[in-house]
Chain A
Amino acid sequence: MAPDRALEPKVIGESVATLRLLEELLEEMQGDARSSSGHTSTLLALPQILLRIYAEILTVIRKLRQSKNVLQYAALARLQDTQDKLREVTSTTETATTDLLDGLDRALAILDGIDASLGTETGTRECSEKVDELRDELHKMMNILQFQDITAQQLTYVASVLGDAEERLSTVIDLFDSTGIAVHSPEESETHDEDEPRNFDPNATVQSVRERQALVDEIFSSEGR
Chain B
Amino acid sequence: MKFLVVDDSATMRRIIVNSLQRIGFSDHVEASDGVEALELFDSSIDFLITDWNMPNMGGLELVKAIRAREDGKRLPILMVTTRSVREDIIQAAEAGVNNYIVKPFTPQVLKEKINLILGVV
Contact = CB atoms under 8 A, between A and B. Distances in A.
Interface of A: 139, 142-143, 145-150, 152-153, 197-201, 203-206, 209, 212-213, 215-216, 219-220, 223, 225
A142 B54 contact: no
Contacts of A200: 53
Given A146-B11, A213-B102, A204 B82 contact: yes
A152 B55 CA distance: 14
A152 B9 contact: yes
A181 to B, nearest CB: 36
Contacts of B102: 209, 212-213, 216
A197 B84 contact: no
Interface string B4-34: 0001110110010011001000000000001
B95 interface: no
B45 to A, nearest CB: 20
B82 A143 contact: no
A135 to B, nearest CB: 9
28 contacts: A139-B18, A139-B107, A142-B15, A142-B18, A143-B104, A143-B105, A143-B106, A143-B107, A146-B12, A146-B103, A147-B104, A148-B9, A149-B103, A150-B103, A197-B53, A200-B53, A204-B82, A205-B82, A212-B102, A213-B105, A213-B109, A215-B84, A219-B89, A219-B93, A220-B93, A220-B99, A220-B100, A225-B99
A142 B53 CA distance: 22
Interface stretch (B36-44, B56-64, B66-74): B56-64
Contact of A143 (B19, B34, B101): B19
B interface, how many residues as a size bin? 35 or more
Contacts of B120: 225
Contacts of B7: 149
A206 to B, nearest CB: 6
B15 A201 contact: no
B90 interface: yes
A88 B107 CA distance: 24
B83 interface: yes
Given A205-B82, A225-B93, A146 B55 contact: no
B87 to A, nearest CB: 10
B47 interface: no
B74 to A, nearest CB: 14
B104 A209 contact: yes
Given A139-B18, A212-B102, A215-B86, A201 B9 contact: no
B33 to A, nearest CB: 8
Contact of A153 (B19, B82, B106): B82
Interface centre among B82, B98, B102, B107 (most CB of A within 10 A): B82
Contacts of B83: 201, 203
Contacts of B61: 197
B11 A148 contact: yes
Given A146-B11, A149-B11, A150-B104, A219 B86 contact: yes
A149 B9 CA distance: 6
